[in-house]
Amino acid sequence: MIKFLFKGLLRDRHRSLLPIIVVVLGVMLTVTMHGYMGGVLGDMVDMNARFSTGHVKIMSHAYAEEEDQMPNDLALLEVGELIDRLSADHPDMEWAPRIRFGGLVDVPDENGETKTQGPGIGWGINLLGEGSTEIERFSLESSLIRGELPDKPGEVLLSDDFAIKLEIEPGEQLTFFGSTALGGMAFYNFTLAGTVRFGSSVLDKGAMIMDIEDARLALDMPDGAGELLGFLNSGQYVDEEAVAFCENFNSKYSDIEDTYSPQADTLRNLSMIGSYLDYAENMVAIIIAIFVIAMSLVLWNAGLLGGLRRYGEVGVRLAMGETKSHVYNSMILESILIGIIGSVIGAAIGLAFSYWMQNNGIDISGMMKNNSIMMPSVFKSKVTPVTFYIGFIPGVFATVLGTMLAGIGIYKRKTARLFKELES
């Protein structure tokens, strides 16, 4: 039966060409949109995790309330001991202490007077520690534009745009002006080792990266850290695992009455990413629903037109004794074949475009100069196992639904009129 219907579709292109084209277009758009949204949101989650929140973040209660102000006077103390305990209790996670701070970066001239200066945002991360993966996590090697990475205390990195603005070259001196964790003034001299570009306007405006021990020395924070970021060994954020860790940690270490006690929270709660993830899940369902409805309407009309053209064929089949249900079922089976063929072709085209987007992306850096959200400037797609079959849902379902609606007319045919139709 299937072989017979397949031959019929090949020999009568009027029956299959338009529906297949409609399915191909719908499936192609569904696959492309799914890959694009998955890539953009996946990159946003990954960038926020690496640079800002981790998969989980531990802060003091007081620090968390004023996190945007980077209040290092409310930072965690004795972080080394806390990391040792966490590493013993949760060997499946990696821990990265961070210090974020703001201040003024001053570049002196040959006479030691101020040549240029500008506000910057600093990161104290574990650059020089043995076994640290912070260099890979910040993608510093691939982001390096000029100079080299710090290999000794007292060396820092600046974002390349910031360095150009300050008119400073690798190897030259700069001075950081800020406030210590104890409320005093911080003055500290550094050597610029190199410049980097992260591809995010938020980071490239005025980033300064140094080893965490240099930051502790400059800010008077021995064995302290404003934030302790935790990363799952899988490298991917899994909400269930992150929530389970936070519940366990808070039950053991957190004390609401003590504002300096640590508390843990997940990436989803610490940034706008949670709402974006929910939005993405809803958008995928909405996109599929839209394409199913739109394609069903088009295929319904195509089925009605095809039914008029095949009016005599259906009449002959009924006159020969074929039941209406058998004719109806055969047309549905025929639509399933059309849906599968169109879905395969559409998915192949959509996947090809998604793979191209995954490797090349679309550069929108010109549109993000004043952007305040941490997100990549190159939007790329991401092909996942779901991308391979997501298009078959609207492709097959819409084709069958359109045929079912159009085929209802078969049951309205009256056998008494068949002979008059055949005579004419």
- Of the listed ranges 126-135, 249-258, 291-300, 339-348, the one predicted with least confidence: 291-300
Instruction: Tell me the pLDDT tens digit for each residue of 268-307.
Output: 888 666 676 676 667 767 776 777 777 667 666 665 555 5
Q: What is the mean pLDDT of the chain?
A: 81
H-helix segments, 177-238: 201-204, 212-219
Calpha distance 52→55 (Å, rounded) = 10
Cα 371 to chain centroid, rounded: 17
Contact partners, residue 220, CB within 8 Å, separation at least 6? 180, 181, 182, 184, 186
Q: What is the pLDDT of residue 16?
A: 67
Residue 369 in contact with residue 201, Cβ under 8 Å?
Answer: yes
With a cut of 50, say whether residue 311 has pLDDT above it: yes
Q: What is the 3-state secondary structure (H, E, C) of 384-419?
A: CHHHHHCCHHHHHHHHHHHHHHHHHHHHHCCHHHHH
Contact partners, residue 164, CB within 8 Å, separation at least 6? none
Instruction: Tell me the pLDDT tens digit for each residue of 177-232.
Output: 999 988 888 889 999 999 998 877 777 888 999 999 999 999 999 999 999 999 99
Residue 362 in contact with residue 381, Cβ under 8 Å?
Answer: no
Take residue 417 and report the two structure tokens written for it: 């009129």
Q: What is the pLDDT of residue 85?
A: 92
Instruction: Tell me the pLDDT tens digit for each residue of 363-388.
Output: 655 555 555 455 555 677 888 888 88
321-347 burial string, b = 16+ CB within 10 Å, else e? eeebeebbebbeebbbbbbebbbbbbb
* Residue range 156-179: mean pLDDT, rounded: 93
Q: Which residue has the higher pLDDT, 33 or 372?
A: 33
Residue 368 in contact with residue 377, Cβ under 8 Å?
Answer: yes
With a cut of 50, say whether residue 396 has pLDDT above it: yes
* Residue range 111-132: mean pLDDT, rounded: 89
Residue 162 in contact with residue 146, Cβ under 8 Å?
Answer: no
Calpha distance 210→216 (Å, rounded) = 10
Q: Which residue has the higher pLDDT, 225 or 330?
A: 225
In the chain, domain spans: 2-47+275-423, 56-234
- The candidate with the shortest Cα–Cα distance to 270, out of 67, 86, 60, 42, is 67
- Of the listed ranges 72-81, 250-259, 357-366, the one predicted with least confidence: 357-366
Helix (H, G, I), strand (E, B) or coil at 383: coil
- What secondary structure does DSSP assign to 123-177, as a single string? EEE-SSSTT--HHHHTTHHHHEEEE----STTEEEEEHHHHHHHT--TT-EEEEE
Give the chain's end-to-end CA distance (angstroms, integer): 30
CA dihedral 86, 91, 93, 94 (to 10 degrees): 80
Calpha distance 4→11 (Å, rounded) = 11
Helix (H, G, I), strand (E, B) or coil at 25: helix
Calpha distance 254→152 (Å, rounded) = 36
Q: What is the pLDDT of residue 10?
A: 53
With a cut of 50, say whether residue 27 has pLDDT above it: yes
